[in-house]
């Protein structure tokens, strides 16, 4: 009897166990099939990111005040086609123009646009320009020439066939003259006028059939041209926004990054800190880093001394960085950006993509921003290492440790050098019981503790500088496609072309109504001075209202007018209005604003052609049907804008991206 009872119990337990397993399998299957992003694991392999969408009822949370388009700019459309008689270039050109371009991503892009324009002006055949940043590195893959390392050569030539004749190289008879240095070479400034080329260079071009240009300043033609040359301005736009496409692998990975950032169903904001060593040195912003690490201040000052010696900068070496910051000359610091975004109503779970291949100060400088916005990521967290390494191609192996230790110095020599160095804030030597780490022997940390002179870049340094072009290209794609863009620093009439200004100009051309902030750093510096002693714990409603009003104005006409006054005289691509846009007729008549020189600062665009108006009407009718059902919900979002919402621990668990452990971040500052 007992045996039969025990046997029944066993069968019952086995049945319950099987039933539980079946129930678990069914639940897992339902969850997998009903999940909105079941392919997420295949989209983001081996990156360790959590892209779980945040839902409010049946729709994703999306604050239209923070992410929606600027209504007053919706009528602006991209239109860079020729508007007047524009003949195809004559095959019997006046000669060839070849060029060497020095500088980073921003200077290269601006210089190429100017080169094409000059070639059209002089009826010359343009040879594909040489990008020196990639040519100087011996480790660059044999698969790429200098131009094709970054851009698609075939696309570039084909897109501009009706504008300029472009060839891959000089004819053989002219190559020999170049090797013997028999070709006249010019070094034009970025502010060179069309008359300079017509009167000075064109006669020599006709005589020798070839000239060379060496470009250092991010361009070779003045930004603002006479109204009679508006077709040349539109040519610049066709080059920058249509012909200059990145090579296919860069383009594909850039678009894949955008998809991954939007995989949660949420919009994302791109932020470029603008904390570049050259920029900080040029504008005298060294003291902003004293609270972080004095050695960074010294590095900036060293670069500033170099610029003064080379004639790039005509200014004193030591300036008051806090005065420069108050003048709006210095970038906004990440902690200030975090505070501004919070005041604009962005949730702490907002996805923020940090663009830029160089953030001087490393990850340490971004800690305050990451503390406020946990979903702050960069390309190393959105792409795998394999994906990034595939872009550079098969390269010549370089020595992993090119550092050569300096000769040993006696105690008397070290003491004498220390005394002779004066009040320089050199890094202190580590305690005797602690070993000297590798990063304290090599790189900038090593030379600054040993010498007053920065060493020449090694082969590894040159290779890394060339790779920055690719990283900037990826970040450029993401920044242009982002739902909102906030610059930590952008061109305001001084210096050379910068990353943020080019992104802002591209976004203005492609979608003028997208959220692109154009802050006045002078105004924001005054506002931050008010709460400087209480930066993290303030509750001044008047201050918050002023901040919101200023940033909202920067999104619309006021921001465009200011950008046209300050940025356009330096870089046309930062503000390609009104030449490269047209306006769809609307009920609201745009105001027209002219500057002292008579040029349109805003509102001088031509009316769009009929075919473009019809396509826009179809688009508007489709969007009206889609948005009809969401009008009721949007009202509450507008009313709740700016109201601080309490966040539960559950909401933190559902954040769009989970930060990777710090030991996996290759860019983490070793001094941290």
- Binned at pLDDT 50, 70 and 90, residue 668 comes out as very low
Query: 320-355: per-residue pLDDT in tens?
Result: 998 999 999 999 999 999 999 999 999 999 999 999
Mean local confidence (pLDDT), 588-615: 84
- Checking if the pLDDT of 630 tops 90, the result is no
Query: For residues 40 and 31, what is the distance between their CA atoms, to the nearest angstrom?
Result: 14
Nearest to 439 by CA among 278, 137, 672, 139: 672
Reduced to 3 states (helix: H, G, I; strand: E, B; else coil), residue 616 is helix
Rg of the chain over CA atoms, in angstroms?
29
Packed helices 459-481 and 248-261: angle between N→C axes, nearest 10 degrees = 50
- Binned at pLDDT 50, 70 and 90, residue 636 comes out as very low
Question: What is the percent of the chain with per-residue pLDDT over 70, rounded to a whole number?
Answer: 75
Reduced to 3 states (helix: H, G, I; strand: E, B; else coil), residue 98 is strand
Please give the biggest Cα pair distance in the chain.
118
Q: Please count the CA atoms within 13 angstroms of the CA of 487 that sit on its side-chain side.
A: 28
Query: 212-265: per-residue pLDDT in tens?
Result: 999 998 999 999 999 999 999 999 999 999 999 999 999 999 999 999 999 989
Give every CB contact of residue 257 below 8 A, 6+ residues apart in sequence.
Answer: 379, 382, 383, 474, 477, 478
Query: For residues 627 and 69, what is the distance between their CA atoms, to the nearest angstrom?
Result: 13
- Checking if the pLDDT of 105 tops 90, the result is yes
Name which residue leads in pLDDT, 498 or 456. 498
- Contact 244/509 with Cβ under 8 angstroms? no
Per-residue pLDDT at 344: 92
Q: How many CB atoms lie within 10 A of CB 664?
A: 13
- Binned at pLDDT 50, 70 and 90, residue 288 comes out as confident
Q: Please count the CA atoms within 13 angstroms of the CA of 316 that sit on its side-chain side.
A: 5
Local structure of residue 201 (DSSP, 8 states): I
Query: For residues 6 and 2, what is the distance between their CA atoms, to the nearest angstrom?
Result: 6
Tell me phi and psi for residue 10, to 5 degrees.
-60, -45
- Binned at pLDDT 50, 70 and 90, residue 129 comes out as very high
Query: For residues 43 and 356, what is the distance between their CA atoms, to the nearest angstrom?
Result: 24
Which runs of E-coded beta strand occur in 112-219?
Answer: 125-127, 130-131, 166-167, 185-186, 210-215
Q: How many CB atoms lie within 10 A of CB 470?
A: 23
Query: Could you tell me the end-to-end alpha-carbon distance of the chain, in angstroms, rounded to an integer?
Result: 73
Query: For residues 101 and 309, what is the distance between their CA atoms, to the nearest angstrom?
Result: 22
Tell me phi and psi for residue 120, to 5 degrees.
-65, -40
Strand partners, 485: 270, 516
- Contact 369/337 with Cβ under 8 angstroms? yes
Per-residue pLDDT at 487: 96
Alpha helix segments (H runs only) across 122-219 = 132-135, 153-159, 172-179, 194-196, 202-208
Q: Residue 115 is encoded by which pair of tokens? A: 């080169």
Query: 152-202: per-residue pLDDT in tens?
Result: 999 999 999 999 999 999 998 888 878 788 889 999 999 999 999 999 999
Q: Residue 234 is encoded by which pair of tokens? A: 């539109």
Please spell the DSSP secondary structure of 229-250, one letter per residue.
GHHHHHHHHHIIIII-PBPHHH
Query: For residues 570 and 561, what is the distance between their CA atoms, to the nearest angstrom?
Result: 15
Per-residue pLDDT at 504: 96
Q: How many CB atoms lie within 10 A of CB 389?
A: 12
Per-residue pLDDT at 220: 94
Nearest to 493 by CA among 322, 328, 288: 328
Query: For residues 104 and 332, what is the distance between their CA atoms, to the nearest angstrom?
Result: 22
Cis peptide before 358 (omega within 30 of 0): no
| Mean pLDDT comparison of 65-74, 283-292, 531-540, highest-scoring range | 65-74
Per-residue pLDDT at 667: 38
Q: How many residues does the chain have?
A: 672
Which runs of E-coded beta strand occur in 380-519?
Answer: 484-487, 515-516
- Checking if the pLDDT of 664 tops 70, the result is no
Query: For residues 371 and 380, what is the distance between their CA atoms, to the nearest angstrom?
Result: 19
């Amino acid at each position: 009897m007992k045996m039969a009872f025990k046997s029944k119990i066993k069968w019952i337990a086995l049945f319950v166990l099987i039933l539980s397993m079946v129930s678990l399998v069914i639940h897992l299957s339902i969850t997998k099939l009903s999940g909105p992003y079941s392919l997420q694991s295949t989209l983001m392999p081996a990156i360790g990111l959590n892209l779980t969408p945040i839902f409010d009822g049946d729709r994703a949370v999306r604050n239209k005040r923070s992410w929606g388009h600027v209504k007053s700019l919706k009528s602006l459309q991209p239109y860079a086609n020729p508007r007047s008689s524009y003949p195809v270039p004559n095959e019997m050109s006046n000669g060839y123009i070849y060029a060497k371009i020095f500088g980073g991503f921003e200077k290269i892009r601006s210089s190429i646009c100017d080169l094409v324009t000059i070639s059209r002006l002089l009826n010359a055949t343009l040879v594909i320009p040489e990008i020196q940043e990639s040519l100087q590195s011996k480790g660059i893959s044999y698969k790429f020439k200098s131009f094709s390392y970054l851009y698609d050569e075939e696309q570039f030539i084909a897109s501009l066939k009706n504008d300029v004749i472009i060839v891959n190289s000089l004819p053989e008879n002219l190559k020999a003259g170049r090797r013997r240095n028999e070709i006249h070479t010019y070094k034009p400034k970025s502010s060179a006028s069309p008359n300079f080329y017509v009167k000075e260079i064109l006669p020599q071009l006709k005589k020798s059939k070839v000239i060379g240009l060496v470009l250092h300043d991010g361009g070779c033609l003045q930004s603002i041209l006479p109204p009679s040359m508006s077709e040349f301005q539109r040519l610049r736009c066709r080059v920058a926004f249509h012909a200059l496409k990145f090579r296919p692998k860069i383009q594909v990975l850039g678009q894949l990054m955008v998809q991954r950032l939007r995989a949660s169903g949420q919009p994302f904001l791109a932020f470029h800190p603008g904390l570049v060593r050259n920029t900080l040195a040029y504008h005298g912003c060294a003291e902003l880093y004293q609270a972080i690490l004095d050695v960074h201040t010294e590095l900036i000052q060293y670069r500033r001394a170099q610029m003064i010696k080379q004639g790039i900068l005509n200014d004193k070496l030591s300036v008051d960085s806090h005065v420069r910051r108050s003048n709006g000359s210095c970038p906004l610091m990440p902690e200030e950006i975090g505070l501004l975004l919070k005041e604009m109503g962005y949730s702490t779970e907002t996805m923020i993509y940090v663009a830029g291949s160089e953030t001087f100060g490393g990850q340490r400088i971004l800690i305050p921003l990451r503390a406020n916005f946990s979903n702050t990521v960069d390309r190393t967290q959105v792409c795998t290492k394999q994906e990034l390494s595939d872009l550079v191609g098969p390269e010549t192996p370089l020595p992993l440790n090119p550092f050569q230790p300096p000769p040993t110095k006696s105690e008397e020599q070290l003491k004498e050098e220390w005394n002779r160095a004066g009040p320089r804030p050199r890094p202190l030597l580590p305690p005797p019981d602690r070993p000297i780490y590798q990063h304290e022997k090599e790189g900038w940390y090593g030379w600054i503790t040993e010498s007053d002179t920065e060493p020449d870049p090694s082969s590894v340094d040159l290779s890394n500088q060339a790779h920055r072009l690719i990283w900037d290209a990826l970040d450029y794609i993401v920044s242009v496609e982002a739902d909102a863009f906030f610059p930590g620093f952008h061109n305001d009439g001084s210096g050379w072309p910068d990353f943020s200004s080019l992104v802002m100009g591209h976004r203005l051309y492609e979608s003028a109504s997208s959220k692109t902030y154009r802050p006045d750093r002078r105004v924001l510096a005054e506002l931050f001075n008010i709460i400087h002693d209480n930066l993290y714990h303030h509750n001044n409603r008047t201050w918050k209202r002023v901040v919101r009003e200023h940033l909202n104005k920067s999104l619309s006409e006021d921001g465009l007018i200011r950008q046209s006054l300050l940025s356009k005289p330096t870089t046309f691509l930062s503000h390609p209005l009104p030449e490269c846009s047209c306006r769809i007729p609307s009920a609201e008549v745009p105001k027209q604003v002219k500057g002292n020189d008579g040029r349109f600062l805003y509102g001088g665009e031509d009316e769009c052609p009929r075919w473009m108006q019809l396509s826009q009407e179809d688009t508007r009718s489709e969007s009206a049907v889609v948005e009809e059902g969401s009008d009721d919900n949007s009202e509450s979002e507008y009313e709740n804008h700016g109201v601080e919402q309490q966040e539960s621990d559950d909401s933190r668990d559902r954040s769009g991206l989970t930060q990777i452990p710090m030991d996996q971040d290759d860019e983490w500052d070793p001094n941290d």
